[in-house]
């Protein structure tokens, strides 16, 4: 049975869990979670936890295509009060921090966060994997080519799934050698992948189960959904539910979403379907 040891809190993945997205950024592609103040962030986190989120993913840096980087110090200033406020109000909450800065990762774990979620898999900060290994916390290792500023220019593959598998085989070895025991693989929907490639990846995602690691699917309100449907990100909840359903059927253990209640209902229905 897959589990995560989150600083002594054991999170079972026998049934898929939801990671709620809490963006503390002024330029999130989905404006439903813009930072209106610390009390808004606390309220949103409380609503997600009440709806069943297994963890809250706090991010202070936009990683949408073409986004510009924020310095580690500025990123920390954004997320530190949010982490503090959530843990004061909900001390049992498991907080993941979405960062590619090892400095931010270390400070966040020291402040009470329990998971590091790095969109670059340690590629953008060579100290990240070693730091996470020393902190003894789970690591979400995502597949991306290049950086968020330029990644869409690199959406070229001879064999998409084979390249992603090779990447994760190497990363799992690197993470294990660094002392990371709980490694979560995220195939990186939308990161250096175009719409057609995202659908191909979703269709073949079950193959990643051969890695023997939990799989995280981050499809929530992404452009693959709203551009395919000719709608906006704000209108993409139904499309998100459809693709999350496919992801669960293809082996996802964690759904990273903006809308926790709907994702929890999706998991409940898929589990009922599987047990019929």
- The DSSP H or E segment spanning 242 is helix 237-249
pLDDT in tens, the chain (276 residues): 789 999 999 999 999 999 999 998 775 444 444 445 788 899 999 999 999 999 999 999 876 665 567 899 999 999 999 999 999 999 999 999 999 999 999 999 999 999 999 999 999 999 999 999 999 999 999 999 866 766 777 778 999 999 999 999 999 999 999 999 999 999 999 999 999 999 999 999 999 999 999 999 999 999 999 999 999 999 999 999 999 999 999 999 999 999 999 999 999 999 999 999
Give catalytic residue positions: 222, 256
User: Over the Cα atoms of the chain, what is R_g?
Assistant: 17
Q: Which two tokens stand for residue 209?
A: 């189960």
Query: What sign does the dihedral 20-25-30-34 (CA atoms) show?
Result: positive
Q: Are 51 and 260 in contact (CB under 8 A)?
A: yes
> What structural domains and CATH numbers belong to the chain?
3-275 (3.20.20.20)
Cα–Cα distance, 198 to 216 (Å, whole number): 14
What value, to the nearest 5°, has the Cα angle with vertex 74 and ends 71 and 79? 120
* Total-model pTM: 0.93
């Amino acid at each position: 049975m897959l589990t995560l040891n989150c600083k002594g809190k054991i999170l079972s993945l026998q049934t898929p869990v939801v990671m709620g997205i809490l963006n503390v950024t002024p330029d999130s592609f989905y404006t439903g979670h813009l930072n209106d103040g610390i009390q808004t962030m606390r309220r949103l986190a409380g609503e997600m936890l009440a709806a069943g989120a297994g963890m809250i993913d706090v991010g202070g840096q936009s990683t949408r295509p073409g986004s510009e980087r924020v310095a580690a110090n500025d990123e920390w200033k954004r997320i530190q009060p949010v982490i503090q406020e959530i843990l004061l109000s909900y001390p049992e909450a498991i907080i993941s921090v979405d960062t590619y800065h090892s400095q931010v990762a270390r400070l966040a774990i020291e402040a009470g966060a329990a998971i590091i979620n790095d969109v670059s898999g340690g590629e953008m900060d060579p100290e990240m994997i070693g730091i996470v290994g020393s902190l003894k916390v789970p690591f979400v290792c995502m597949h991306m080519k290049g950086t968020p500023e330029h990644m869409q220019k690199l959406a070229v593959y001879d064999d998409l799934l084979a390249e992603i598998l090779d990447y994760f085989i190497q990363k799992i070895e690197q993470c294990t050698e660094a002392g990371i025991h709980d490694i979560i693989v995220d195939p990186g929907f939308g990161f250096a992948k175009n719409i057609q490639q995202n659908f191909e990846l979703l269709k073949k995602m079950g193959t990643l189960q051969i890695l023997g690691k939990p799989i995280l699917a981050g499809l929530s309100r992404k452009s693959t959904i709203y551009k395919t449907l000719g709608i906006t990100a704000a209108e993409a909840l139904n499309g998100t539910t459809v693709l999350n359903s496919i992801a669960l059927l293809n082996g996802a253990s964690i759904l990273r979403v903006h809308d926790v209640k709907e994702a929890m209902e999706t998991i409940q229905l898929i589990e009922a379907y599987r047990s019929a």
